[in-house]
Amino acid sequence: MGENAGRDVELTLERMAHGGVAVGRLDGRVVFVSDAIPGETVRARISDDRKKSFWRADTVEVLEPSEHRRPHVWSAAGIENPPGRRAGGAEFGHIALAHQRELKRGILVEALQRMAGLEVDVEVEALPGDDDRGGLGWRTRIRLHVDEEGRLGPMAARSHTVIPVTDAPLATDAVQAATPFEERFSGFDTVDVLVPNGSDARLVIGEQKPTVIHERVGDRSFALDDTGFWQVHREAPATLTRAVQDAVDVELFDPRAGNLDLYGGVGLLAAAVADRFGPSTRITSVEADPRATDHASENLAEWLGAGAESGRVDRWLRALQERTAGDRSPLDGATVVLDPPRSGAGVDVMAALGRLAPAQLVYVACDPVALARDVALAEAHGYRLARIRAFDLFPHTHHVEAVATLIRD
């Protein structure tokens, strides 16, 4: 750190940046400020001055508060705690819920305009029950870290410091009840607590061997590992199922084409497509984790045309291209659903899809900047953004989910 680290400065915040930090300026330099809201004037403490182009700071006092400021929903994360001792994972917890969604909408709209040259009108939609609960009680699974005394807690933002806590208000009541906050777990790094919708509550302590659980979505049950990926919001699997079903352009969908669910996990979205278009639907889920692929095979077994293959998506698509014979693409007329990790699909995958030329892409994104980049890449291959919806799958955090339909002109 340089000589400015630890210095207190007064800043007026201009806008919200991607990542949940507000933007201020100090002598022309950009300063990213945590725990602040655009329009506020705050006293902030410089935490990182190593970059020439920007610094980071933490709010320590609000001098002129926004009308949207609220007492933080998690006392362990509020500005009453010293910088560096604030629990991470609820960085929007000091902002009124409706305004959180407006800020997320702005980030998504700005990313699409800046990176893809698109002007879009989109609303960040609340999930069922969240407004009634004040955006609390939605996490069906949490990961807590273990400090040097064996106590449980999240890490502070941009830090490896564990903040011991006695509650987790973003978690469901069942998860909070199952979390052993008072116990000590010396010798372990992490403790996962989950209460699946279809299985009993369980703890995963350290690097335990995975065991199979079941998650229920509507009338359907999905097998998966307790250590595997699953949407954490209690309503997210059902919401994304409906959103993907609605996002598919029916006029372009061919149940006999080589339809794909890329980054398919245990088959949630492949099942959504097959449920929507019937028992003759042909769709293949592609997933890098072989155990998830095994579960997807089981979860999709009722559809004769559905299956799952294990492999890295970029390599799998490359192999598909290499097997292509003649002028007809194996994805001719196909619908491709993709739900990549936060980093997005990226250049290689989007280029491969561009060459294989499916009829439409349904892109499920948890990062607006990665989505905007990939939309721009798709546009270079002749696709246009036909529709987009956004969902507040992560209240009191800066994260937002989007479902976009890209159609080949």
pLDDT digits (tens, 9 = 90+) for 337-365: 999 999 999 999 999 999 999 999 999 99
Tracing tokens 């997210």 back to the chain, one arrives at 236
How many residues would you count in the chain?
A: 409
Distance CA 330, CA 340 (A): 21
Number of other residues whose CB lies within 10 A of the CB of residue 311: 16
Q: How far is CA 283 from CA 38, 252, 262, 330, 351, in A?
A: 45, 15, 10, 12, 21
Residue 52, pLDDT score: 83
Distance CA 131, CA 157 (A): 26
Which residues lie below 8 Å from residue 327, measured CB to CB, with a gap of 6+?
none
The beta strands (E) that lie in 252-327 are given as 259-262, 283-287, 306-310
Residue 198, pLDDT score: 78
Extract the tokens encoding 58. Answer: 């933490």
Tracing tokens 């335990």 back to the chain, one arrives at 208
DSSP 95: B
Closest residue by Cα to residue 364 from 391, 327, 331, 394: 391
Catalytic residue among 191, 195, 300, 366: 366
Closest residue by Cα to residue 243 from 59, 392, 40: 392
Residue ranges of the binding site for S-adenosyl-L-methionine: 231, 263, 287, 339
Q: What DSSP letter does each residue of 145-173 carry, written as one string? A: EE-TTS-EEPBBTTS--B---S--TTB-H
CATH topology match: 8-69 vs 103-131+218-223+230-408: no
Number of other residues whose CB lies within 10 A of the CB of residue 189: 11
Tracing tokens 């659903």 back to the chain, one arrives at 337
Residue 323, pLDDT score: 81
Distance CA 332, CA 334 (A): 5
Residue ranges of the binding site: 231, 263, 287, 339
Domain 103-131+218-223+230-408 = CATH 3.40.50.150: yes
Residue 317: is it exposed, middle or buried by C-beta count within 10 angstroms (0-12/13-18/19+)? buried
Q: Is 324 left (phi over 0), alpha (psi -120 to 50) or beta?
A: beta
Helix (H/G/I), strand (E/B), else coil: 64: strand
Residue 264, pLDDT score: 98
The mean pLDDT value of the chain amounts to 96
Residue 151, pLDDT score: 98
Distance CA 175, CA 141 (A): 7
pLDDT along the chain (409 residues), means of 10: 84 96 95 98 94 93 98 97 96 98 98 97 97 98 97 93 98 97 96 92 93 95 96 98 98 97 98 96 97 98 96 96 81 97 97 97 98 98 98 98 96
Task: CATH number for 8-69: choose from 3.40.50.970, 2.40.50.140, 3.40.50.300, 3.30.360.10.
Answer: 2.40.50.140
Residue 1, pLDDT score: 65
| Distance spanning both ends of the chain, measured CA to CA | 52
Domain boundaries, the chain: 8-69, 103-131+218-223+230-408, 141-211
Q: Is the dihedral of CA 110, 114, 120, 125 positive or negative?
A: negative
In the residue annotation, 366 being an active-site residue is answered as yes
